[in-house]
């Protein structure tokens, strides 16, 4: 009798597991249609560049602040949905799966030393020693350690390293992004502190970005990818460095309003250079 009971129980468990699997496999369509095309989407190929056709070039470093209204599509959603992730979650998931290679931060912003996903997460696990006071008499003090784990919602900026060049064959000023760097914003002693995490090569990341959707506030049926977002320059940014003989940032020789004016001057000079080429 006991064996019969165990056999019936095993059969019931098998049927219940099959029914659960069937429910998961046949989930209802949550939308107007199944959007399968995004998984096979490929990035638009770059135009071929000959060294002889590049008559002028300059490297520019920009920073995109996710807190600006126009850039909030990088930051949201906080909670990942089926086909909708924030930019940092897309990058971290691709790193975890081995689709992207991250490079350690260097003083020259070069992609030299690869680092793993676990190394990135481990570096953001902080331990802070503090002296606390007990709330009840005799109010004695005691030492404690506060551990802070990695929080991807603290990533609120993105640095972009790009090359502007004039293609004499196409008679056009063009730009090509070379690398991007997520930046965390932390609060220490009541002050805002920026901490860059890692660099990733943008050309090597385009296939991942082309399959990651971005929210389109104007038309949900015309969803765009992160690769198209960068390609079409659908972001607001400010320049924090241009290629120079001293290899210094704007913040090293200008502050406050002067730094903002210097950033605008660099952007204006890029446009002015192209205009002057067509003045006869």
Express each pLDDT in 148-203 by its tens digit: 788 999 999 999 999 999 999 888 899 999 999 999 998 877 788 999 999 999 99
Contact (CB, 8 A) for 178 and 118 = no
Phi (first) and psi of residue 133, to 5 degrees: -120, 130
The percentage of the chain sitting over the pLDDT mark of 90, rounded to a whole number, equals 59
- Span 108-132, mean pLDDT? 86
Mean pLDDT of the chain: 86
Contact (CB, 8 A) for 43 and 227 = yes
Higher-pLDDT residue of 33 and 182 is: 182
Q: Write down the pLDDT at residue 20.
A: 44
The number of beta carbons lying within 10 Å of the beta carbon of residue 75 is: 19
- Gap between the Cα atoms of 225 and 41, Å rounded: 9
DSSP bridge pairs for 176? 163
Banded model confidence at residue 19, pLDDT cuts 50, 70, 90? very low
End-to-end CA distance of the chain: 102
Model's pTM, two decimal places?
0.82
The number of beta carbons lying within 10 Å of the beta carbon of residue 169 is: 13
C-alpha angle 162-215-212 in degrees, rounded to nearest 5: 60
């Amino acid at each position: 009798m006991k064996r019969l009971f165990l056999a019936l129980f095993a059969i019931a468990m098998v049927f219940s597991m099959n029914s659960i699997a069937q429910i998961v496999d046949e989930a209802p369509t949550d939308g107007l249609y199944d959007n399968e095309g995004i998984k096979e989407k490929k990035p638009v190929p770059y135009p071929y560049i000959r060294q002889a056709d590049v008559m002028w070039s300059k490297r520019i470093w920009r920073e995109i602040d996710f807190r600006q209204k126009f850039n909030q599509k990088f930051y949201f959603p906080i909670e990942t949905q089926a086909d909708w992730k924030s930019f940092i979650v897309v990058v971290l998931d691709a790193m975890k799966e081995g689709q992207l290679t991250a490079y350690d931060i260097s003083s020259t912003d070069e992609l030299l030393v690869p680092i793993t996903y676990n190394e990135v997460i481990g570096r953001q696990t902080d331990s802070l020693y503090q002296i606390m006071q007990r709330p009840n008499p005799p109010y004695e003090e005691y030492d404690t350690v506060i551990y802070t784990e990695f929080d991807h919602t603290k990533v609120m900026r993105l640095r972009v390293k790009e090359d502007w060049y004039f293609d004499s064959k196409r008679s056009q000023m063009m730009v090509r992004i070379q690398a991007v760097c997520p930046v965390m914003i932390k609060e220490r002693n009541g002050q805002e502190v920026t901490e860059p995490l890692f660099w990733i090569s943008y050309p090597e990341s385009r296939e991942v970005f082309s399959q990651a959707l971005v929210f389109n506030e104007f038309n949900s049926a015309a969803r765009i990818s992160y690769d198209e977002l960068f390609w079409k320059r659908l972001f607001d940014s400010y320049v924090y460095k241009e290629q120079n003989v001293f290899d210094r940032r704007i913040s090293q020789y200008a502050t406050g309003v002067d730094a903002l004016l210097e950033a605008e001057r660099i952007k204006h000079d890029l446009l002015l250079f192209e205009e002057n080429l067509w003045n006869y």
